[in-house]
């Protein structure tokens, strides 16, 4: 892939259609790398914000000579297909990509409505970089740094167009992952849409839970429900667009749930405990398959837990001393305790380093509690 | 509550029946505070390990004069009731507590089998301090520090016995929470057993998920499935003992799941999107009710995300500089990116401090990406 003088793989101009969180973040990222970015949003106020924070310049309707190298459709899934078709027609020399979080439905919409001659210029993509917040104000140039960016070339996508789509991801610091729209939608149905649905199903049960019960909540409940805070408007579109694949997985969940309910209704019945043990064991197996940091399995790190006072600088002091040992901190999480001003820092290191670090920290007066 | 010369509320001796993770941790904690601790486990090897790491001395069968102040039954839920009844009979002057994670079934077993005159000396309790690891080797004296410890006095528990049970929790640094066995089991059914079941149901779906799909997994999937790694043997006993309460909640989950499945089977049908939006919105509401750190609602903290290189000392340097500002780090989590040697540190601070910290970090050359 050729690199321009600016050090980017794209040369621009890049037209971004839709200046929400992702579109504006793409604009900021490309502008930061010196590319000419043009913005367009159906909402003038939204577009104005994106311009004000430096994501690009407004589209000039009178400039009939405007010929972008790349058009990025960053609109809600619902309208993405139509906007891609529009862009393919309006900019006959441009590569057009979209970034919707579902890909097959968009590809179908484009294939049906667009001029066949234009289809080689379209490439579906999905940057896996969401945020709880939305809108251009939450946008950041580095939003995609080191995050996966799935490139879904269709059978008709031209190699040059695919290279341009990948150039966008690479220029924004993302990690390119290639799969078909079908593979992508199957993948996100299980790794993204299913967890979202189960987290929401669980969290909705908490609506009437007494406060004294919630006061006992630990990190387990917090972890399982964290993504239940996601934006309903966006998720309705995502779930609708991937309904067929998601529902197939939910049939399996329902089967397991019904089996578990039957077991719990008769917990002393034959094989009841075996059924429960099997569900738990299958959960163990599935959980262990999730790659950890940098694609390494979770098992490869050893954990130790250190007691820290909840005052400014405590954790910094702890990590500074760990840094002094030259032992790399593979992961860290703080576990806070109710009511008390004290917390537990769970530190992950390479297994070989565990004892060395435990001894060291203990010698420095830290309480290693696990 | 009177404090002994040793600075503890208990005066001992304390007999611990069952030297697994929790029993041994209680022994270590009480020994560290100078109390006389006597250990007993049906497995001689397990008990030997607990003794070797200093959790207490062995029970001497020939010492007929042995009269513990307190007996702590720290056995699996299945056998807890019988062991409590045994202890009440064997030590007529002792208060007897258990620490099983289900309380109503244990109370019923004790009430049925024990001498009525002995019931005032029994108090059910539940220290909410689990660990992924089990066994005496994983035990730590500080395991209960700042964790909730539920005290479930029965109608028949004597005030003195309740004080002794609370003294155990307080001497181990736990935070006492009082509720009935019924309230406790209802509470843990929703805040502990339900999340465990849904996490396992989700994780079991990952058994056959292709690796290329799992490679796209983000923190969302990791969070929702983390507790699916829990020990099946223990959980079978917990789920069995609380089956009736848990299944009632699962009926509601099944109802919601069936409604969602119906909606996804006909995503373009009347009100389909409204149904999906409602599930998501109810999830938002329930999730927002979970108390955050130190009982404060999650909303009370502002978050910013900083890009950190994945080399020793980087996070330490970041937190040291934050510490220098005197701004307290309310929470921290590391979000690691696949393949790249870079991570994102998500920092929570009081909302009023967000901009000050962002400006400060930016001025120090940190990339604040959100």
Q: What is the CATH number of the domain that holds B300?
A: 3.30.70.260
Question: How far does B180 lie from chain A, in Å, by closest CA?
Answer: 11
What residues of A are in contact with residue B212 (Cβ under 8 Å)? 177, 179, 183, 187
Round to the nearest angstrom and report the end-to-end CA distance of chain B: 50
Percent of chain A with pLDDT over 90: 59
- State whether A284 and B203 contact (CB < 8 Å): yes
Please tell me which of the candidates A146, A199, A368 has its beta carbon nearest to residue B224: A199
- State whether A175 and B254 contact (CB < 8 Å): no
Please tell me which of the candidates B148, B227, B313 has its beta carbon nearest to residue A220: B227
Residue B123: predicted pLDDT? 98
Average pLDDT of span B41-58: 93
Among the ranges given (A37-41, A128-132, A188-192), the one the predictor scored with the smallest mean pLDDT: A128-132
- State whether A131 and B267 contact (CB < 8 Å): no
Query: Do A143 and A30 touch, CB atoms closer than 8 A?
Result: no
Question: Which of A221-235, A313-327, B80-94, B222-236 ranks highest by mean pLDDT?
Answer: B80-94
Query: Do A36 and A16 touch, CB atoms closer than 8 A?
Result: no
Residue A9: predicted pLDDT? 94
* pLDDT greater than 70 at residue B216: yes
Residue A337: predicted pLDDT? 53
pLDDT (tens digit per residue) in B244-266: 999 999 999 999 999 999 999 99
- State whether B280 and A230 contact (CB < 8 Å): yes
Average pLDDT of span B281-303: 73
Domain that holds residue A123: 14-180
For residue B196, give the H/E element and its range. helix B194-204
- The β-bridge partners of B302 are B349
The verdict on B110 and B168 lying in the same domain is yes
Does the residue A3 lie in any domain? no
Q: Sorting pLDDT into bands at 50, 70 and 90, what band is B294?
A: very low
Among the ranges given (A355-364, B305-314, B316-325), the one the predictor scored with the smallest mean pLDDT: B305-314
Residue B115: predicted pLDDT? 95
Q: For residue B240, what is the nearest residue in chain A, using CA coordinates?
A: A267
- State whether B148 and A200 contact (CB < 8 Å): no
pLDDT (tens digit per residue) in B299-311: 457 778 888 776 6
Domain boundary (A150, A180, A210) is at A180
Domain boundary (A255, A288, A321) is at A288
Count of domains observed in chain B: 3
* pLDDT greater than 80 at residue A79: yes
Among the ranges given (A206-220, B82-96, B116-130), the one the predictor scored with the smallest mean pLDDT: A206-220
Distances in Å between the Cα of B340 and the Cα atoms of A145, A146, A148, B336 are 9, 6, 10, 8
Please tell me which of the candidates B209, B247, B327 has its beta carbon nearest to residue A289: B209
**Cis amide leading into A350 (omega within 30):** no
What residues of B are in contact with residue A196 (Cβ under 8 Å)? 220
The verdict on A320 and A357 lying in the same domain is yes
- The β-bridge partners of A57 are A38
The verdict on A221 and A356 lying in the same domain is no
Question: How far does A132 lie from chain B, in Å, by closest CA?
Answer: 11
Residue A355: predicted pLDDT? 83
Within 13 Å, how many C-alpha atoms sit on residue A15's CB side? 24
- State whether B206 and A331 contact (CB < 8 Å): no
Number of cross-chain residue pairs from A and B with Cβ atoms under 8 Å apart: 476
Question: How far does A118 lie from chain B, in Å, by closest CA?
Answer: 29
* pLDDT greater than 50 at residue A232: yes
Domain boundary (A138, A159, A180) is at A180
Q: Who has greater pLDDT, B312 or B73?
A: B73
Across all residues in chain B, what is the average pLDDT? Answer: 89
The verdict on B41 and B107 lying in the same domain is yes
Please tell me which of the candidates B175, B198, B232 has its beta carbon nearest to residue A277: B232
Does the residue B2 lie in any domain? no
* pLDDT greater than 90 at residue B26: yes
**What is the interface pTM, i.e. ipTM, of the complex?**
0.80
Write the CATH number for A249: 1.10.3660.10
Chain CA centroid to CA A346, Å: 24
Across all residues in chain A, what is the average pLDDT? Answer: 89
* pLDDT greater than 60 at residue A280: yes
What residues of B are in contact with residue A180 (Cβ under 8 Å)? none
Residue B352: predicted pLDDT? 78
Average pLDDT of span A267-287: 89
* pLDDT greater than 60 at residue B338: no
């Amino acid at each position: 892939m050729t690199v321009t003088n600016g050090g980017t793989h794209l040369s621009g101009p890049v037209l971004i259609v839709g200046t929400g969180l992702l579109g504006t973040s793409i604009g900021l990222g490309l502008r930061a790398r010196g590319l000419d970015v043009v913005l367009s949003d159906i909402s003038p106020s939204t577009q104005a914000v994106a311009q004000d924070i430096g994501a690009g310049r407004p589209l000039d309707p009178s400039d009939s000579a405007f010929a972008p190298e790349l058009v990025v459709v960053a609109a809600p899934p619902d309208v993405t297909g139509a906007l891609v078709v529009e862009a393919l027609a309006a900019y006959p020399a441009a590569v057009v990509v979209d970034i919707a979080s579902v890909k097959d439905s968009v590809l179908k919409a484009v294939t049906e409505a667009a001029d066949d001659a234009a289809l080689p210029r379209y490439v579906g993509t999905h940057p896996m970089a969401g945020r709880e917040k939305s809108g251009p104000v939450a946008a950041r140039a580095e939003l995609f740094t080191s995050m996966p960016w799935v490139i879904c070339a269709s059978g008709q996508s031209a190699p040059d167009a695919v290279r341009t789509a990948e150039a966008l991801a690479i220029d924004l610091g993302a990690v390119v992952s290639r799969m078909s729209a079908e593979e992508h939608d199957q993948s996100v149905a299980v790794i993204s849409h299913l967890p979202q649905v189960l987290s929401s199903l669980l969290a909705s049960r908490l609506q009437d839970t007494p406060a004294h019960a919630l006061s006992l909540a630990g990190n387990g409940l917090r972890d399982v429900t964290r993504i239940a805070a996601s934006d309903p408007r966006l998720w309705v579109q995502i779930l609708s667009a991937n309904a067929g694949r998601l529902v197939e997985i939910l049939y399996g969940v329902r089967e397991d749930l019904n089996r578990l309910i039957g077991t719990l209704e008769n917990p002393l019945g034959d094989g009841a405990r075996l059924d429960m043990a099997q569900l738990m064991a299958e959960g163990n197996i599935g959980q262990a398959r999730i790659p950890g940091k940098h694609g390494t399995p979770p098992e490869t790190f050893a954990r130790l837990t250190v007691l820290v006072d909840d005052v400014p600088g405590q954790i910094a002091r702890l990590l500074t001393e760990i840094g002094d040992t030259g032992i790399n901190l593979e992961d860290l999480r703080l576990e806070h305790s109710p009511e008390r001003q004290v917390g537990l820092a769970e530190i992950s290191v390479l297994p070989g380093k565990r004892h060395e670090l435990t001894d060291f920290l203990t010698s420095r007066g830290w309480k290693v509690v696990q």
